Homo-oligomer: A and B are copies of this chain.
Amino acid sequence: MTKQKVAIIGAGPAGLQSAVSLAELGYEVDLYEKKSRPGGHLAEWHVLFPDMQPAGELLDSLMQKVLAHPQIRLETGVNISGLEQAGKSWQLIQSDSVRGEADAVVLASGFKLFEASKKEEYGHGIYPAVISSAELETIFIREKEWPFEKTNKSPKIGLVHCVGSRDAKCGNLYCSKACCITAVKQAIELKKTFPASEVYCFYMDMRMFGLGYEELYHKAQLDYKVQFIRGRLSEASPSGAGRIQVKAEDTLMGRPLKLTLDMLVLMVGMTASVSPEVKENTVELKEYANKGEFVKIPGAVIGAAQWLKPGLFVAGACKGPATLPEVLNDARATALDLRNYLSGVL
């Protein structure tokens, strides 16, 4: 009997873990990645919260399993823009031609980071001292230049939580969940790099909901003297020598606050990434692509099967903001649901 085949769209953590789990369950797996290299955002991240483990280690371990498995075929630089269902089989479309076929599909296209420049008041893309949390990771990972004087060993740095999240003006009312703990992690990394620095986190609520998060938050306060200020920045403006002046209200102290900083880091949240080029015939996805929304699985909160319809499964952060352990568990749960579908149990 020919082995059944599964196509996975997206080779970030969700796609890689889905591929490994499905191959281990005995399926042939075609894993398609739009970019020239796999890994998704994980490939651009320095260390992970809360254990400060290098992101590259997790990615390497996933990649090794993918590359070592004879039943997984990874193709990069392939933009699957549509899906066509013919009976129980799925055709994967690339630029109007059929790129591949499969018995089931896993959409694992992940998320996009909020574009920091959309929050104009913070001046990202205008003032060099204003960078996003993702850009801070690339500075750490590639040891790139800091956006302030090399001689400055005691920079004042501000981190702004909830940039593009919990913000009706941006149309993103939801919480992006991973930014608060990322800010704590990055604040600690900054203090490790510049022990004489002053680091301020501007937050609305400190959302330390995961294993070890609260503990890391305490460590940031007690061991690293990171200062947490409850308040939203109103604006950032230039202040000579490339510095940035910020204004906020400290809502706990009940007083206005004005600070001049050497660097301002904007904690950008996760936004939906279902490709807007998704073909008209992929009706189920078209809706989400047009609205720029995360894919909603009916009954997902009470553990319903991770599919949008029979044969079309969805794994990871394209369903909404998620942390890495959540994504990896979700990919495994999806693999199990898919197995049940192909073996007739579901």
**Bound Cα distance from A336 to B331, whole angstroms:** 11
CB-CB contacts of A150-180 with B at 8 A, as 1s and 0s? 0000000000000000100000011101000
Interchain CB contact under 8 A, A325 and B345: no
CB distance from A151 to the nearest CB of B (A): 38
Question: Is A300 at the interface (CB under 8 A from chain B)?
Answer: yes
A335 contacts which chain B residues (CB < 8 A)? 336
Question: Is A218 at the interface (CB under 8 A from chain B)?
Answer: yes
Interchain CB contact under 8 A, A215 and B302: no
Question: Is A141 at the interface (CB under 8 A from chain B)?
Answer: no
A336 contacts which chain B residues (CB < 8 A)? 21, 24-25, 332, 335-336
User: CB within 8 A of A340: which of B24, B166, B175, B214?
Assistant: B24
**Bound Cα distance from A258 to B330, whole angstroms:** 46
Question: Is A251 at the interface (CB under 8 A from chain B)?
Answer: yes
CB-CB contacts of A190-214 with B at 8 A, as 1s and 0s? 0000000000000001111111111
Q: From known contacts A207-B209, A213-B175, A215-B173, infer whether A301 and B325 are also in contact, taking CB-CB under 8 Å.
A: yes
Q: Which of A50-58, A132-140, A233-241, A273-281 participates in binding chain B?
A: A50-58
**Bound Cα distance from A214 to B177, whole angstroms:** 10
CB distance from A52 to the nearest CB of B (A): 11
Interchain CB contact under 8 A, B174 and A48: no
Instruction: Name the interface residues of A87-134: CB closer than 8 Å to any CB of B.
Output: none
* 28 A-B residue pairings within 8 Å (CB atoms): A17-B303, A24-B336, A51-B302, A58-B302, A166-B214, A173-B215, A174-B211, A177-B210, A207-B208, A210-B301, A211-B300, A211-B301, A211-B319, A212-B301, A251-B252, A252-B252, A254-B254, A300-B325, A301-B324, A301-B325, A302-B324, A302-B328, A303-B325, A328-B333, A329-B329, A329-B330, A329-B332, A336-B336
Q: Considering the complex of A and B, which 9 residue pairs feature the smallest CB-CB distances, nearest first?
A: A303-B328, A332-B333, A205-B205, A177-B209, A329-B333, A254-B254, A329-B329, A209-B209, A175-B214
- Please give 16 more A-B residue pairs, beta carbons under 8 A apart, in addition to A50-B301, A303-B329: A17-B303, A24-B336, A24-B340, A25-B339, A48-B301, A48-B302, A53-B301, A175-B209, A205-B205, A205-B208, A251-B252, A303-B328, A329-B332, A329-B333, A332-B332, A332-B337
